[in-house]
Amino acid sequence: MSPIPVILDCDPGVDDAIAFLLAKQLPQLNVLAITSVAGNVSLEHTNYNALGLLEFLDWDIPVYRGAAGPVFRKRVEAAEVHGSNGMAGYDLPHARSEVEGVNAWDAIHQYALEQQGALEIIAIGPLTNLALAFLKFPDLPQLIKRIVIMGGSSDAGNATPAAEFNIYADPEAADIVFCSGVPVHMCGLDMTMKALMTPDELNQVAALGSKQAVFFRDVVQDIVRFMSRLGITGINMHDPAAVLYAADDSIFTAYPAGIRVETKGTITQGKTVTDLFSDAKWQKNGFVAMDIDREAFVEKVFELMSKY
């Protein structure tokens, strides 16, 4: 089966960085381009980190600069989790390449036209770029085959009790994407909180010996310490799990669902309201991943990281 043409829309971000490591080694994905967006930290940092990660991985694909903040709201960030530079203070190599002269939403449309309906989007940050692309290009929904996001939750949130960070950061953008007509596969906290790697497993990855494998273990240590204060031993691999889902969903369990985003609530803004079986019988505009075979996930991570 020929590899899936994808754009990776991201806000690196420590777990975004791990997603880069895996995405480069996944034969099922043909990552055509990276689009950066403000999220975990400002666009300056997420864009710089995207370029630096590609340099570190010697990965020659273009980066397109995206939105510096949400469509309507004030920008929020997660520097307390990812560090002020978004990379846990890790100093990535200075990239030789620069961002392309086209912005992210125009690039998404351009690639969608070129791929003639086969393009898929993997979005692991706030959905601002994709929403702006849908607002600017009415023909775009017919040109994108599928959207896989890390975001949302049918149950509890992490940014607030109701909302997961990527959706909370730009609820209006997320609702535009869920209403676009393109099927959205939501890899939310229901599943990603189970995509946990333990400190021992992280050390086993580092023991593979490559600079990328050691980076994998080292760059997540601040988050491991942050999670231990929450009583969780290890790190939830949110973005890597979404990328793996996009490549091969055989180790995941997902159900058709109607999904909308609360944009009016005060305490519930950013909640992904997920209709699996209610009497409301919402139109099934997507799928929600509810489970993962964690052991198979970790085995896959080792297999991919062994390729470096």
> Which CB sits closer to ligand RIB, 109 or 185?
185
**Minimum gap (Å) between residue 142 Cβ and ligand RIB:** 28
Element (H, E) at 252: strand 252-261
> Which CB sits closer to ligand RIB, 13 or 83?
13
109 catalytically annotated: no
The yes or no reply on residue 40 touching ligand RIB (CB under 6 A) is: yes
SS3 (DSSP) at 279: coil
Binding mask 162-191 for ligand RIB (x = CB under 6 A): --xxx-------------------------
**Minimum gap (Å) between residue 39 Cβ and ligand RIB:** 5
Contact indicator for 154, 290 with CB cutoff of 8 Å? yes
> Which CB sits closer to ligand RIB, 79 or 207?
79
Output the CA torsion sign for 257, 176, 174, 292: positive
Residue 164 binding partner per list ligand RIB, Ca ion, none, with a CB distance cut-off of 5 to 8 Å that depends on partner kind: ligand RIB
* Strand blocks (E) in 94-164: 119-123, 144-150
> Which CB sits closer to ligand RIB, 19 or 305?
19
Contact indicator for 39, 126 with CB cutoff of 8 Å? yes
CA distances from 143 to 23, 30, 149, 195 (A): 23, 17, 17, 31
Give φ, ψ of 21 to 5 degrees. -55, -40
Stretch near Ca ion under the rule CB under 5 A, chosen from 41-49, 177-185, 206-214, 234-242: 234-242
Q: State how far the Cα of 103 lies from the Cα of 235, in Å rounded to an integer.
A: 33
Binding site for ligand RIB (CB under 6 A): 11, 13, 15-16, 39-40, 78, 124-125, 150, 158, 164-166, 238-239
Active site amino acids: 238
